[in-house]
Amino acid sequence: MAFVAHNWRNSKRAFPLETLLMPQVPRGNYLHLLEEKQRLQLKKFLLHRMFLVANIQANMEKREIAEYYDQLFQSILKHHIGEEVTGLLLIYPTSMLHILESSNGTLHQILLDYFNHQRDETEFWVQKMKIIVISHNIPTRLFMHWYVSVVKVPVLYLDDVTQSQSLEEVIMDFFIQTHKLALYLFKTVKVGSKGLGDTLHQTAPDLLPPEQIIKYLCKSEEFMDPATFVNMYNKPMHVTLDSELVWPAPSSF
């Protein structure tokens, strides 16, 4: 009996408490969850949506603007294979609203293109570009293609909301209009259609933000310009912990 008891004690030492407390079910993290979600949805990258506003030179031709961005997208696509750009470009007489959907790397290259033109050229046809919002990891695209449309609106507006509303109210109305416009186009534009035409101001006038709103947002200092965004994007993060701070500073002898 004593021999049996001795063996039982030895076998008990072979299973330490740490082993018994280890989780029996494998655990993942949030990154693995996102990767698995993207794999199930057959996505190669996380999808993002970016809203841009900018001033443009007067009397810019729609064909010239469309060709410029078509060439830019094709150039970026060579290095970001499969990361197609969809969205909507509304061209006003002296400003534009640009909604873009693609990967993070592709959107960064689009901002970098504007940043390089502003840095290297004295006059570029796009001026005072501002990033209104970037929505990360959106579930699906609202636009099947990248569309360009000219907004033909009167120059004079009887109701200038920028004088009677705060910036928060103006931007809230802006988001409501643009999202309703995106949903309207998602439901009405047929798959395979290559263009919207220039009649949005007739078919959906209540969903188009007035040009005065676009120019107002371009002047707002609260929104980030591409140069600030690119510099912040490329700047490495150095976080100094309190435990790393020593006083007085160490000196060598």
Q: Is the pLDDT of residue 186 over 70?
A: yes
Whether 96 and 161 share a structural domain? yes
In a domain, 61, yes or no: yes
75 and 150: one domain? Answer: yes
CA gap 249, 253 in Å, rounded = 13
Same domain, 124 and 14: no
Q: Which domain holds residue 204?
A: 46-233
Query: Can you tell me whether residue 3 is helix, strand or coil?
Result: helix
Q: What is the pLDDT of residue 100?
A: 96
Residue 68 sits in the same domain as residue 144: yes
- Asked if residue 16 has pLDDT above 80, the reply is no
Amino acid 238: pLDDT:
61
Q: Tell me, what's the pLDDT at 46?
A: 86
Backbone angles phi, psi at 49, to 5 degrees: -125, 135
Secondary element (H or E) of residue 232: helix 226-234
Indicate whether 241 belongs to any domain: no
- The answer to whether residue 58 scores a pLDDT higher than 80 is yes
247 lies in a domain? Answer: no
pLDDT-derived band at 193, boundaries 50, 70, 90: low
Find the length of the chain.
Answer: 253
What is the reported pLDDT for 194?
62
Residue 167 pLDDT > 80, yes or no? yes
If you write DSSP's letter for every residue of 90-121 in order, what string do you get? EE-SSEEEEEEEE-HHHHHHHHHHHHHHHHH-
In 3D space, the residue among 79, 128, 125 whose CA is nearest the CA of residue 102 turns out to be 79
Write the DSSP string, 46-101.
--EEEEEEEEE-TT--HHHHHHHHHHHHHHHHTTSTT---EEEEEE-SSEEEEEEE
Q: How many domains does the chain have?
A: 2
**What average pLDDT does the segment 112-137 reach?**
89
Residue type, 228: T
- Are both 222 and 178 inside the same structural domain? yes
pLDDT at residue 144, rounded to an integer:
85
pLDDT for 196 equals: 74
pLDDT tens-place string over residues 69-98 = 999 999 998 888 878 899 999 999 999 999
Q: Which residues of 69-102 are buried (b: 16+ CB within 10 A; e: fewer)?
A: beeebeebbeebeebebbbbbbbbbbbbbbbbbb
Q: What mean pLDDT is predicted for residues 6-32? A: 54
Most confident of 80-89, 136-145, 216-225: 216-225
Per residue in 64-76, pLDDT (tens digit) is 999 999 999 999 9
The alpha carbon of 106 is separated from its chain's Cα centroid by a whole number of angstroms, namely 10
Q: In this structure, are 14 and 125 located in the same domain?
A: no
Check residues 38 and 232 and name the one with the higher pLDDT.
232
Instruction: Please check whether residues 26 and 86 belong to one and the same domain.
Output: no
Which range is least confidently modeled, 6-15, 129-138, 221-230, 233-242? 6-15
| Cβ atoms of residues 149 and 194 within 8 Å | no
Provide the 10 A C-beta neighbour count for residue 16: 9
User: In this predicted structure, what is the pLDDT of residue 155?
Assistant: 47
More confident residue, 201 or 176: 176
Residue 250, domain member (yes or no): no
Which region among 9-13, 30-34, 50-54 has the lowest average model confidence (pLDDT)? Answer: 9-13
Q: What is the CATH number of the domain that holds 193?
A: 3.30.70.100
